[in-house]
Structure 1
Amino acid sequence: MRDEAGEPQANMGYKIRLRNGHVITGQLDKNGYANVSGPDFENAKVSFFELADHDWSVGNIT
């Protein structure tokens, strides 16, 4: 995650709700990244509980 100026948002808390209802929480690394994968992550819902929903959106994913 990066802010509007392109700076990484280190240690930002996130929550991932998997399609089976399980919830995973964590923090982004110092570069604003989290690496999660697996079949249960298809159609998962991501939120950043430190931000309101309207304060962020999905941009380019690398």
Structure 2
Amino acid sequence: MRIRVVSWTRGCRPTTYELCGAAGQGFVRRTDRDMRTVHGTSWTLTAAARHAFGQILRGEAP
């Protein structure tokens, strides 16, 4: 399965977020360049992944 990055935050910051999707599902990936770590949410429906990504952008994510 090929994962595509649908949207992302600015790459000039030490922590970036990407909205990724494939086959009608998606997840949010967080990359911390300072700590050299990459973490992602669980796969979920695309709409739920977009909602979570929006919450991150607005600073509302739990």
Q: How does the TM-score come out when normalised to structure 2?
A: 0.31
Structure with higher helix content: 2
Q: How does the TM-score come out when normalised to structure 1?
A: 0.31
